[in-house]
Chains A and B, each alone.
Chain A
Amino acid sequence: MSKNTVSDRFRKVDVDEYDENKFVDEEDGGENQLGPDEAEVDSLIRSGNLMGALQAVLKNPPINTKNQNVKERAEGLVLKVLSSFKTSDIEKAVQSLDKTGVDLLMKYIYRGFEKPSDNSSAILLQWHEKALSAGGVGSIVRVLTARKTV
């Protein structure tokens, strides 16, 4: 009763940091992952080969790297490719991807939702609908459970 209970700073201490048995993710060498090739993707977009641009931008995903810049650059590039598609072509593009491609696309879509800009959410929602019919709710579960993501 006579203790000083005014300060509540102790509530903001992150107890898990001091746990000696804390789970630490395995370190995978991610230094070499640079994300999709910007020049290649740009040239494919300009030449109108959007399917090719989609395949190219989904190569080399920066999953293991801790460098946030690389991840942001990759996300921006993916968004550029997704926005340049016509609505009617989206379904065909998603069909051309294999299972891992659809999972990766879902990861990028959710990353894109995190930082919405002008029209991005609407475009991403259209892509989300088509990717969902291809990958099912399982692909969304994999976005949520992945510890190393784009």
Chain B
Amino acid sequence: MSYHSFLLEPISCHAWNKDRTQIALCPNNHEVHIYKKDGNNWNKIHVLKEHNGQVTGIDWAPESNRIVTCGTDRNAYVWTLKGDVWKPTLVILRINRAARCVKWSPKENKFAVGSGSRLISVCYFEQDNDWWVCKHIKKPIRSTILCLDWHPNNVLLAAGSCDFKCRIFSAYIKEVEEKPAPTPWGSKMPFGEVMFESTGTAGWVHGVCFSDSGNRVAWASHDSTVAVAEGGKTAVCTSLTSETLPLLCVTFITENSLVAAGHDCYPVLFVYDSNKAALSFGGKLDIPKQSAQKGMSARERFQNLDKKATTDTKEAVLESVHKNSISQISILNGGKAQCAKFCTTGMDGGMTIWDVKTLESAMKDLKIV
């Protein structure tokens, strides 16, 4: 587990390149900085300046090596590397509110942008006009889209929204692909069709993730719950209320295990048992530093009692690696099926790389099925 502090400001969003040697991140302003790993150091090699508002989403396509960014200036740019410089191409999203999140599709021929205009813009490249064109998914979204994730079949898109629902839409674009095969979520998939809509969640859906096979979708919401739905004739939904602060991001690391992180500043493991359709808490994934317990003098005890009305000797210092909320989690190695390493960035401006094998051996009782 290695922690690197990039900045003092929050990291709004980040994305890795294909071989995980470069990371693109937004340091809470209008720019995107690309850092390259050099031994143990990170050197800033590029600064992408084109947005007029904070960059809220970055995604780096591994195969085609293109970066898509979206921001609060209602625009998205697709960046391609020409020689040693990243050149932007504007994408007209036709939205009148800020863009919130962006994701390349698995085949990298389309990307989807979630925005505050209560719609999702699905953009694809039109060869004839040499131009990125977008189509809108509007119904039945009733509030901002906070997070997106693509299904491995390149057609289905899961979206978490501020209207307390997680939905799976079809983003089938007939100009760039053929009709998709039937999936557990349904067989007819015209553009904009709602394949699944969650019920019962009471908070904004902050993070959503498809499993590696695409048969399961998990989402984390602001009422401190995590839920998993499994596709089928009738989708089976299970949720778990947690005792912690709300989680902001969630990802599958195997078909049955999820890692989520949020305002509590440490990642947690959840295990899904499909036979019992039950989601359970797997454990905290943070190795706390053992701080030396020093004895308290009588004077200190009295001071504590006077100031804080408690004789507790615990200091008010976070023991976790991240010192502020974790806002994004990304898989580095192994994909969503057998993740070996994942990375978290947060509001403390730091980035931590977590090694699954090390965690498994360090925490007893931790089983990643």
What residues of chain A have their CB less than 8 Å away from a CB belonging to chain B?
A: 21, 23, 99, 103, 135-139, 141-142, 145-147
Chain A residues near B245: list those with CB within 8 A: 137-138, 141
B241 beta carbon closer than 8 Å to chain A: yes
With known contacts A23-B142, A23-B163, A138-B224, A145–B203 Cβ distance under 8 A: yes
Which residue of the partner chain B has the closest CB to A134? B243
With known contacts A23-B142, A23-B143, A23-B163, A145–B243 Cβ distance under 8 A: no
The answer on a CB contact under 8 Å between B223 and A142 is yes
Chain A residues near B143: list those with CB within 8 A: 23
Which residue of the partner chain B has the closest CB to A132? B243
The answer on a CB contact under 8 Å between A147 and B202 is yes
With known contacts A21-B118, A23-B142, A137–B243 Cβ distance under 8 A: yes
Q: Which of A103, A135, A139, A145 has the most CB of B within 10 A?
A: A145
One of B142, B164, B223 near A141 (C-beta < 8 A): B223
The answer on a CB contact under 8 Å between B202 and A146 is yes
21 residue pairs of the A-B complex, CB under 8 angstroms, read: A23-B143, A23-B163, A103-B241, A136-B242, A137-B224, A137-B243, A137-B244, A137-B245, A138-B224, A138-B242, A138-B245, A139-B243, A141-B203, A141-B222, A141-B224, A141-B245, A142-B224, A145-B203, A145-B223, A146-B223, A147-B164
State A21–B119 Cα separation when bound (angstroms): 13
Chain A residues near B350: list those with CB within 8 A: none
B246 beta carbon closer than 8 Å to chain A: yes
The answer on a CB contact under 8 Å between A141 and B246 is yes
Nearest-CB distance from B9 to chain A (Å)?
Answer: 26
Given A103-B241, A139-B243, A142-B202, output 14 extra A-B contacts at Cβ < 8 Å.
A23-B142, A136-B242, A136-B244, A137-B244, A137-B245, A138-B224, A138-B241, A138-B244, A141-B222, A141-B245, A145-B202, A145-B222, A146-B202, A147-B164
Chain A residues near B223: list those with CB within 8 A: 141-142, 145-146
The answer on a CB contact under 8 Å between B202 and A138 is no
Which residue of the partner chain B has the closest CB to A136? B243
Q: Hey, what's the 0/1 contact readout for B196-222 against A, CB within 8 Å counting as 1?
A: 000000110000000000000000001
Chain A residues near B241: list those with CB within 8 A: 99, 103, 138, 142
Which residue of the partner chain B has the closest CB to A21? B118
State A146–B142 Cα separation when bound (angstroms): 18
State A99–B164 Cα separation when bound (angstroms): 21
